[in-house]
């Protein structure tokens, strides 16, 4: 069986889905692996890094896609490439099925098996495949680095003969995987860190990292069975707004990470809150591509409002493509290994397997 991966559009996506080390693992399982020309050049992987492991380099995109039993990508390719897919092929990636429903349905009718790894169930057996966690971890780290880079003051407290510079105060909105990594990173760099989340289970995790958890009075636990946040009630939102508005007056940097799977990101930092923030403060919105947690967020722009810098990027992981590619490639390999029947050396789509049943798009 052949596993293939096509060169991504570098304007939008610099990560790759197969690294040389992971290619070797596929080959050891019994797969043939093929990739596009110049596949990993931008990450420092030359063709020989792949071919030395036994990987084939295919110059023609149509031939590569057409001859692959399994195609592994970061997301959905454009229609010019998708049209080369054929019946019974397997396509694995982060396909965002809520936003790409119509496009996916048109290809599912051609009997193509799409697996979207953003639908993985949150169970112990799926942890090694959990691309949301591995990529969000890096995103949370990088969001802090990016926001600190445009904040024009020192982050840790510094005591000098000329006086003391106070530590920066950071608020992390949303204490999921990205948020917890943002808390840990900001804390390591010497900031005083606060965090808020609708899931009460997050309180212990935040405090274990040295953060201070902001609790809405009389709050309920808004957590789904799968461990994700669910939409808050209007009463909760009002109390949260009052707490945030007061807190933000003393905050230097806000990192927004709150997302609800399959829905527009909740607007948490409102215009009136930004008006009360200190001049020179920074808001980094990791939820920018899903509408943003902050008012005024625009993708790939720094917006200045009342002296506050607000920014969000289409794909922050394009700034960490090597690290994120390594983790993504390992996640996908573990997913493929679960699909692969090693005894019969073939793919087995067992819908009774929760991992397979939840990720296949029907």
Q: What is the set of active-site residues?
A: 122, 127, 130, 133, 228
Answer for the pair 72, 93: CB distance below 8 angstroms, yes or no.
yes
193 membership: H or E segment, kind and range: strand 192-196
DSSP 294: B
The CA angle 10-11-14, to the nearest 5 degrees, is 40
Q: How many Å apart are CA 273 and CA 149, to the nearest integer?
A: 23
Of 22, 328, 317, the residue nearest 181 (C-alpha)? 317
Q: Alpha carbon of 110 to those of 64, 68, 280, 287: distances in Å?
A: 19, 16, 54, 34
- Phi then psi dihedrals of residue 97, to 5 deg: -60, -25
181 membership: H or E segment, kind and range: helix 177-188
DSSP 221: -
Q: How many Å apart are CA 317 and CA 23, to the nearest integer?
A: 22
* DSSP symbols for 109-152: TTT-EEEEGGG----GGGGGG-HHHHHHHHHHHHHHHHHHHH--
Answer for the pair 121, 354: CB distance below 8 angstroms, yes or no.
yes
């Amino acid at each position: 069986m052949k596993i293939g991966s096509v060169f991504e559009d570098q304007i939008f996506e610099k990560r790759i889905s197969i690294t040389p080390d992971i290619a070797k693992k596929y080959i050891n399982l019994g797969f043939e692996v093929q990739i596009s020309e110049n596949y990993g050049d931008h990450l420092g992987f030359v063709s020989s890094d792949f071919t030395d492991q036994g990987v084939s380099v295919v110059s023609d995109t149509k031939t590569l896609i057409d001859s692959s039993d399994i195609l592994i990508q970061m997301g959905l390719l454009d229609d010019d490439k998708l049209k080369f897919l054929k019946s019974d092929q397997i396509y694995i990636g982060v396909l965002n099925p809520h936003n790409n429903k119509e496009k996916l349905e048109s290809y599912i009718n051609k009997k193509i098996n799409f697996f979207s790894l953003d639908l993985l169930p949150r169970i112990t057996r799926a942890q090694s495949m959990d691309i949301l966690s591995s990529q969000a971890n890096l995103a949370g780290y990088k969001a802090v680095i990016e926001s600190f880079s445009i904040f024009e003051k020192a982050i840790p407290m510094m005591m000098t003969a000329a006086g003391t510079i106070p530590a920066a105060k950071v608020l992390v909105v949303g204490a999921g995987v990205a948020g917890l990594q943002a808390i840990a990173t900001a804390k390591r760099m010497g900031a005083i860190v606060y965090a808020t989340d609708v899931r009460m289970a997050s309180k212990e995790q935040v405090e274990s990292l040295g953060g201070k958890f902001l609790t809405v009075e009389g709050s309920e636990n808004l957590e789904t069975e799968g461990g994700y946040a669910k939409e808050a009630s209007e009463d909760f939102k009002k109390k949260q707004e009052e707490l945030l508005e007061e807190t933000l007056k003393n905050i230097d940097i806000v990192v927004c990470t709150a997302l609800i799977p399959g829905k527009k990101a909740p607007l948490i930092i409102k215009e009136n809150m930004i008006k009360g923030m200190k001049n020179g403060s920074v808001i980094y919105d990791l939820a920018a591509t899903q509408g943003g947690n902050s008012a005024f967020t625009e993708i790939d722009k720094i917006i200045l409002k009342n002296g506050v810098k607000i920014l969000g990027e289409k794909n922050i992981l394009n700034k960490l493509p090597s690290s994120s590619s390594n983790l993504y490639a390992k996640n996908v390999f573990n997913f493929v290994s679960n699909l692969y029947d090693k005894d019969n050396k073939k793919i087995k789509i067992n819908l009774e397997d929760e991992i397979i049943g939840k990720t296949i798009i029907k």
